[in-house]
Chain A
């Protein structure tokens, strides 16, 4: 069992300030949930830029090699056919398919990497702290066990920034 504190805000400005306050006092934030993207939140939470572009590039490069290699093998080595008087190794005709497969691999690679890194997707065990969190409320969630005995401290910081509602829950992890 782990104990979580969740604070509900009605305004993204308060949320941003609360996030900054918590980070200044070295209290790590488990998660922030918002109904729409909040400008500057990544920065306030100190998130580093994601490595997703690198994943996309590598997957795309693999897709390119696979598509080009397979077509070359199929049309040149395995089953050469004369099509319209073109050479077997007809690069221009390979390019559209190579392009599409590159995009496909990059897209699938990115989506899978995203699911794996953020522990989403089928079979994932996701904790729902409150039904309203993605409707109209901004929520900050702090893992209390991680912080040591700082319950009152965390609470007072959050209340200071006009949190509408603060709940402490115990959740099976």
Chain B
């Protein structure tokens, strides 16, 4: 059986066309909607964060299962490995943010005469912002690359040392990610509303990352299966991915509500200032996000059969992915564009371009190595996996 994925000309053309449509829509939107710089930079940030999160989850998924001594995931680990290939591109794009700082981050202006922001200046200043960014990306890309390289080496050798080294790298990544996942969400998202803060915010963003990453892996499995690949991934693996999607949708809602309830209860103007514009100016979007990210997957994936049906699961994954995009959209826009924000041609163009680029990179990376890794001591367990 052929375990290699070939990045076919058809898929290649389709993804390029998707990116092309994105560029056309962006140009079209540029002339029709004449967006200002702020709207363009906001879109840039939203999409770059969204796809960075999915790519980052590729490394998180590997590391998480490696340090938990999990066996079932070993037959599908090439997919998250491929997803993490987008990280370097995401890093380059994120540094372009230097030119759009002032459009998004209010604190980046000089001479604000704002005592609150002056108090936070030791952390929120432009040089340190980019130093932190460099550290995050160095850690994520470096450890992600080493994990991938280790996995490829393991294909060629039966030596158990690669398995042990993988564990070490995974543990290092987890420690690094535990801290950086929190601080990155403060930097890129929470500091948009620089006066406001929430201690739960990092967790909330992290779980959003988790959910969208799982949904992305499900769709990748679905796509590869439709190409006649991955016959070693059976219903049991799909069932587990379904459980992940179900459980973390609930957990996402749990954290969302934990944050909301406390702010709603205490009713302090400094804190409610965050939810007031979201609830009042974007009411429909506000509740749509809760329905798409919680209610639909919660009811739709409750039964065992729904989690084992790949078509239905993929449908749910699409809903959750769109829901998570809208979630990030609503995290960003009230602090930047505000009331006037709406989803128009420009937004759709940005999404198409980023999606095309992301998938192109991921599939190109997927084609570079066999879809089934070899010589992992836990691989046999994965074939006989039964929930």
- Give chain A's interface residues, CB within 8 Å of chain B: 39, 49, 53, 57, 84-85, 92-93, 95-96
Residues of B within 8 A of A49 (CB): 304
Least CB distance, A5 to chain B, in whole angstroms? 31
Indicate if B223 sits at the interface (CB-CB under 8 A). Answer: no
Indicate if B178 sits at the interface (CB-CB under 8 A). Answer: no
Contact in complex: B261, A95 (CB < 8 Å): yes
B295-309 at interface with A (beta carbon < 8 Å)? 302-304
- When A and B form their complex, what is the total count of cross-chain residue pairs whose Cβ atoms lie within 8 Å? 18
Q: For chain B, which range describes its interface: under 10, 10 to 19, 20 to 34, or 35 or more residues?
A: 10 to 19
List 15 additional A-B contacts (Cβ < 8 Å) besides A39-B386, A95-B257.
A49-B304, A53-B303, A53-B304, A57-B302, A84-B265, A84-B267, A85-B267, A92-B257, A92-B260, A92-B261, A92-B264, A92-B265, A93-B261, A93-B265, A96-B261
For B303, give the chain A residue with the smallest CB separation. Answer: A53
Q: Is the interface of A mostly helix, strand, loop or mixed?
A: helix
In the complex, what distance in Å separates the CA atom of A96 from the CA atom of B264? 13
Residues of B within 8 A of A84 (CB): 265, 267
B145-170 at interface with A (beta carbon < 8 Å)? none
For B302, give the chain A residue with the smallest CB separation. Answer: A57
Q: Which 4 A/B pairs are nearest by Cβ-Cβ distance?
A: A92-B264, A92-B261, A95-B257, A92-B260
- Give chain B's interface residues, CB within 8 Å of chain A: 257, 260-261, 264-265, 267, 302-304, 386
Among A57, A92, A96, max chain B CB count under 10 A is at: A92
Residues of A within 8 A of B302 (CB): 57
In the complex, what distance in Å separates the CA atom of A57 from the CA atom of B303? 10
Residues of A within 8 A of B264 (CB): 92
Residues of A within 8 A of B257 (CB): 92, 95
In the complex, what distance in Å separates the CA atom of A84 from the CA atom of B265? 8
Least CB distance, A73 to chain B, in whole angstroms? 22
Residues of A within 8 A of B260 (CB): 92
Least CB distance, B225 to chain A, in whole angstroms? 25
Residues of B within 8 A of A92 (CB): 257, 260-261, 264-265
In the complex, what distance in Å separates the CA atom of A85 from the CA atom of B260? 17
In the complex, what distance in Å separates the CA atom of A156 from the CA atom of B303? 42
Can you sample 18 A-B contacts with CB below 8 Å? A39-B386, A49-B304, A53-B303, A53-B304, A57-B302, A84-B265, A84-B267, A85-B267, A92-B257, A92-B260, A92-B261, A92-B264, A92-B265, A93-B261, A93-B265, A95-B257, A95-B261, A96-B261
In the complex, what distance in Å separates the CA atom of A39 from the CA atom of B261? 44
